[in-house]
Every structure is written in structure tokens, then in C-alpha cells.
Structure 1
């Protein structure tokens, strides 16, 4: 009898699972398939051809995929190669506490593409992929102007504190914050526009709002002071870097696929950093019908845009830049290199750059499917994020480990030093 053996069947999404198929004929060709339905009812699926060994088994730790959505030895390939039945969509978890993604793994006849019937499925198993560990607490925050969700890890604490920021999608996104809490960080998923009574748009960044959030987090009895970290993506990375520059409370800042200048205005007390010049006419529609906007921003190195640069050399804490070299949303690698050079010119050594060949814009936790493009509620056409499936998956796995190490290293008493 054919069996698909998966261990563990229940795990956090950033944990690998081990998949083995037994009971096949020697050298039998089959298709391994993964399917998951998101909370909107959209189906995501992946498929790869494998051949059994002489003993009628397939161990994904050692067996190479011969075709399908990927080639070669990739034990978690069925997860990170999931793609939507729709043309472009992002597998984004909404309810991070009460339900996992249920991923159905199946072994099918190799001619499944020509004979799609229930008889073609030889064995199946369901895997639970969670975004929160048992015991994580989710607390709605409405303190002063602050709007967000605070995730507290299980245990007595106190725990290192982190603020989690996303970009132009707006609203409140919780999946990375709940996962960080599952890894031991008291994490505030912070909304800053298009949520409840916050501004609908995000043209201007009021750093005092984020200072209020940092002070709130540090005042919580479960949070370890004297400083916090920030994990930020895309437009949110502009905010994260501004926090690093202006706020002494910030000891460790992760900037993923971001920029180090102002788009809109950045304001803190009596300082204003005005917007870089933008060129909407440089946006283009590629041959897939997707919007590419990476050329819309002016060159921060030109004299006309010097007024827009964040003074990154004023950051007292450490900064980790993470970029993909196939980012088609913005020139994030060039921007991070320029920020690193600005630090060096001022004799600072508190910046680290991780640059990943083949990775796109949306660098997310490990084993998340590559989102090549997706709609944005504020943009008329789907936005092209870029990335190559296998290399992007490798970047996500490596960068997540580096993020966790970076935060643990710098979020402890006395972690801010004069740099």
C-alpha cells in the first residue's frame, strides 16, 4: 500500500517538514502534489515528478524532482513553489491564532495531467502550518494614537521587544509579528495608515507616532528594555530606518527591500526631510500586463535629491539591510549599497547588507511561496515584485535565520553603544 509519511504534521510555518513516500513499485514515476486553500477560498497548488528508488521509496531529503514546478533536491519545494489558480495572488494569512494553513500532500499517478480523477490519487496526508505557537497571546492595542496588535510569547519573560512594519498595502498585517512572538520576541504589529481611525494614505511619516509606539512597547511589563528592534519591509523600511535615525530607543533595525530617503515627507519634532523627486511617467506595463514602478523614484545620488536623504549615520543602533537582486519593485540593492556607503563615509560600522541573487521584493519567512506579482488595493494594476522561485526560497530561508540572530544579538540591556 502506498503511504505518504510526513513529520511533523503540525508545525510553525518556518519549520521544515520531512516527507517520504513508501509502497511504490521500484523506479515508479509519480507526481507529488501540494494544495492549500486560503481564507478567501482561493486554491494554491504545486506539483513535481519523482521516481521511486529500487525499494519503492521516495525520500525528499535525497530524491531529486525530475520536472514540474522545480527541479533537483528540494525537501520543501512543494511548499515554496505553491502558486495560485488565479494568475497572480499572494498567500497571506489573516487569522494567525485560531487556524493554520491546511496543506494537503498527495501522491498521484504520473499521468494525472491527462486523467484528473480521484482514482489517480494513491495516498494523501494533511499538514498543519501555524503562524503562532501554543501559548502566544494576541492583544488588541488602542493606546493614545497607537493602533496595532501586540503578540506576547509564552512564558514569564521579559522578552525582547520588536515593532513589525509592512508597506504600501496599508492596514494591519499580523503573520510576521505572530511568528516573531513564537520565536521569543514581544512583537507589536503596528498599523500606520488605512486602519481604523488612522490616516487613509501614507504620504507623510510622523516619526513621533512611532516613538509613541516604541515607548508603549518598552513600558509593557513583559518587554525587556532598554531598547527595541524594528522589522520592516518595503515602504515600511523607510519608516524603520527613520526610527533608527531619530529614536534612541531603537537598537536593531531590519530593513527588507527598502530605501533610505523620504518619499513624501518625514517629520520628527522640528526636523523635516522632504520628498525625493518622483516621475510617475516612468512607470511601465510589462509584457505580462504587470506594473513596474522601480524607475519612478529619482536618483538619490543626484544633487537635486540630497534634501531627501535620511542621515543614516546618526543611527545609534545596528541596521541589517536585506535585498533581492531581482527586485522589480524598486532598486533596493542600489539603495542599500548607497546607505552603507553613507555610513562608511562617516566612519560608522553599524550596517550589514545581505544581498540575494534571484530574490524578489517580497522576502518573507521561510517556505512562503514566491509572490511574483499581486494586486494592491491602491493601484489599478497588479504590481510586479520579481524573483526566481528557487533562489527566492533560498534567500527567505537564509535571511530569516539571520534576522532572528541579529535581533537576539542586539536586543539586550546595554546593546546600544556609541558607534
Structure 2
């Protein structure tokens, strides 16, 4: 009798699992399919074809997929390649505390080329993928103007504090903060538009809001001072760089595929005003599927007419880690990072580090997050092309996640393990 074993069967969503199938006929061809339904009821699935060895076993750590959604020896390929049956959807965990993603792994004793509700698997296993480990505390934040959710590891701490931001998706996005807390960080998932009484759309970046959030995090008794970290992707990376520039208690900044200047929206901070480079929508490229490529929409920050839009990051007192995908089709993040690093060096600063991943796209997230090249995005009428290639992007997520944690611990300090 065929049997599929997943080890561990319950894990954090950023942890690898081992998948093995036993009890097959020697050299038998099989399909292994992964499927999960998100909180909206949308089904995501992936499948790969394997040939059992002479003992009737398939071990994804050593058996190459011959076809399906990928080829080769990719132990986590079924998680990397999960895609929705409804086009252009992104798999995001919304309720990180209440439930995990329950991913079903089915084995079929034939080649399954498309979803067939009548098809009966010969073996199945459900694995739970959590975004918080046991003991994580989540507190909804509604203090002053600040909105969000604070995730704290179990124990007394103190823990290094991190503000976690996303981009144009808006709202409150918590899955990365839950994982950061699971690895020992006090993480504040910080929305800045499209949530509760915050502005519905982003028309300006009021840096005093982000300063208030930083002060709120720092004064928490379980947060290890004297500084905090910031991590952001896309527009969140732009804001993170602005925080690093003007807020002296930002000691470590993780910049994931963003801009070194203000784009579209101006920045205000006390008596400082930085205008935004206008968008050039006529530069949008259209794909055959109707998705749009926005890589050329943004103005050149090196242009003399936009010099007052560039962030003066040489003022940053902390360290900056640039995480860049070489196939980012949302923006030219590589050029932005190179210009930022050159500006720092020109001013005699040696406080930056670059992680460059040639085949990665825009949405570099924690490991095992499904690769998405094109998705719909709030406020945009057509799907957006994010870029990247499955294997290179997924490996970039694995490597960068470890480096991000190492960087934050290096510059913020480690939690007081003796008090956990």
C-alpha cells in the first residue's frame, strides 16, 4: 500500500519539510499534488511527476521531478509552485494566529495533468504550516495615530524590535511579523494606508506617523533598545529608507526591492519636504495576458530635475541591507540600490550591504512562500507583473531570509535567552 510521509507534519511556514512516498511499484510513474485553500475560499495547487526508484520509493530530497510544474530535485518545489485556480491570485495568510495553512499532499498512481475532482489518490497527508510558533503573543495596536499589530516571542525578553511594512497592497499584513516573532524579534506589523481610520489611499508619506510608531515600539518593556530595525518591500522599502535617513533610533534597515527616492508621493517630516518623482503611465508595457509591466513607469532619480526627490541617505546612522531581485519587473530596484550605495560611499559611509539575486523578482518573501510572477493588486485595474523565475526566486527567498535575520541580530542585539 502506498504511503506518503511529511516530516515534520506541523511546522512553521518558513521551515523546510521532507516528503517521501513508500510502497509504490518499482519505477512506477506517479503524480504528487499539493493543494491548499486560503481564507477567501480560493484553491491553490501544484503538481509534479516522479518515477519511483527500484525499491518503490520517491524521496523529494533525491528524486528529480520529470515534469509537472517544475523539473529537477526540488524538495520544496510543490510549495514554491502553488498557484491559484482563479487567475492572478496571491496566497497570503491573513489570520496568522487562528489557524495554519493546511496543505494536502496527494499521490496519484498516474499522470494527473489537470485538477479532477473524481480522481482518487492512493495516499494522502495533510501538513500544517503555521506563521506563529506556540506562545507568540499578538496585540492589536491602536495608540495615538498608530495602527497595527505587535507580535512578541514567548518569555520576558527583551527582544530586538522591528517595524515590518509592505507596499501597494495596503492594509495590515501580518504573516512576516508572525514569523519574525517566531525567530525571536518583537515585530510591529505597521499599516500606513487602507486600514481602519488610516487614509484610504497613499497621497503623502507623513514620516511623523512612522516616528510615532518607532517610539511606541521602543518604549515597550519587552523591546531591546536603544534602537530598532525596519523591514520593508516596494513602497515599504522606500519608507524604510526614509526612516533610516531621518530617524536616529533606526539602527538596521532591510530594503527589499524599492526606491532610493520618493516616487509618486511626497514626504513630509517636520520642516522637511521631499517631492515625489511623477509616474509616467504612458511607459507601461502590456503583456499578451493583459498584465502590465511597470518597470519603466518611474522617473530617473539621476536626472537633474529630480535631485530634490532623492533621499539623503548619507544622514543614516544605522546600517542598511539591500535585498534585490535582478528580474524585478515592478521597478528597477537594482539601479536604485546601486545609486543608494554609491551615494553612501561618495559621502564616506560604509554602512550598507547588498544581496543581489539575478533570477529573483519583486516579491521576495520568507522561504516557501509561493512564487508569483503576476498577481492582481488593490487599486490597479489590470494584473501586475512582478518578474522572476521559480527556482532562482525561491532560492533567493531561502537565502535572504536567513541573512535578514542575521543582519538584524548583528545590529540590534540578540534576545536575552536566559530569560526566555
Q: Same fold (TM over 0.5)?
A: yes
Indicate the SS of the match to 1:395: helix
Cα deviations by residue, 1:196-255 (Å, 9 ceiling, x for unpaired): 111122121111111111111010011110000001010011110000000011000001
Q: Residue 287 of structure 1: CA displacement?
A: 1.7
Runs ≥4 residues deviating over 3 A = 113-120
Say yes or no: does 1:362 pair with 2:363: yes
Does the Cα contact within 8 Å between 1:164 and 1:230 map onto a contact in 2? yes
Match of 1:65 in 2: 65
Say yes or no: does 1:375 pair with 2:376: yes
Q: Hey, what's the Cα distance between the residues in 2 that align with 1:120 and 1:95? A: 31
Count of residue pairs brought into register by the alignment: 413
Match of 1:404 in 2: 405
Indicate the SS of the match to 1:121: coil
Residues 133 and 195 of structure 1: CA distance in aligned 2, closer, same or farther (over 3 Å)? same
Q: Hey, what's the Cα distance between the residues in 1 that align with 2:135 and 2:22? A: 36
Q: Hey, what's the Cα distance between the residues in 2 that align with 1:118 and 1:289? A: 33
Does the Cα contact within 8 Å between 1:109 and 1:120 map onto a contact in 2? no
Does the Cα contact within 8 Å between 1:276 and 1:307 map onto a contact in 2? no
Residues 120 and 213 of structure 1: CA distance in aligned 2, closer, same or farther (over 3 Å)? same
TM-score, normalization: structure 2? 0.96
Give the CA RMSD over aligned residues. 1.3
Match of 2:94 in 1: 94
Q: Residue 258 of structure 1: CA displacement?
A: 0.5
Q: Hey, what's the Cα distance between the residues in 2 that align with 1:115 and 1:178? A: 32
Match of 1:417 in 2: none
Q: Hey, what's the Cα distance between the residues in 2 that align with 1:215 and 1:391? A: 38
Does the Cα contact within 8 Å between 1:112 and 1:120 map onto a contact in 2? no
Match of 1:122 in 2: 122
Q: Residue 115 of structure 1: CA displacement?
A: 9.9
Cα deviations by residue, 1:64-103 (Å, 9 ceiling, x for unpaired): 1111111111111110111111121100111000100000
Match of 1:387 in 2: 388
TM-score, normalization: structure 1? 0.96
Cα deviations by residue, 1:352-409 (Å, 9 ceiling, x for unpaired): 1111111111111101111111112211111111111111101111110111111111
Match of 1:329 in 2: 330
Does the Cα contact within 8 Å between 2:168 and 2:378 map onto a contact in 1? no
Q: Residue 347 of structure 1: CA displacement?
A: 1.0
Cα deviations by residue, 1:159-180 (Å, 9 ceiling, x for unpaired): 0000001111111111111111
Match of 1:182 in 2: 182
Structure 2: runs of 5 or more not aligned:
415-420
Indicate the SS of the match to 2:35: strand
Does the Cα contact within 8 Å between 2:163 and 2:230 map onto a contact in 1? yes
Q: Hey, what's the Cα distance between the residues in 2 that align with 1:113 and 1:366? A: 27
Q: Hey, what's the Cα distance between the residues in 2 that align with 1:119 and 1:390? A: 29
Cα deviations by residue, 1:27-58 (Å, 9 ceiling, x for unpaired): 11111110001111111111111111111111
Cα deviations by residue, 1:253-292 (Å, 9 ceiling, x for unpaired): 0010110101221111111111123312112322220011
Aligned residue runs from structure 1 range 198-347, under 5 A: 198-263=198-263, 264-347=265-348
Q: Hey, what's the Cα distance between the residues in 2 that align with 1:336 and 1:310? A: 12
Match of 1:157 in 2: 157
Q: Residue 302 of structure 1: CA displacement?
A: 1.1
Indicate the SS of the match to 2:122: strand
Does the Cα contact within 8 Å between 2:108 and 2:120 map onto a contact in 1? yes
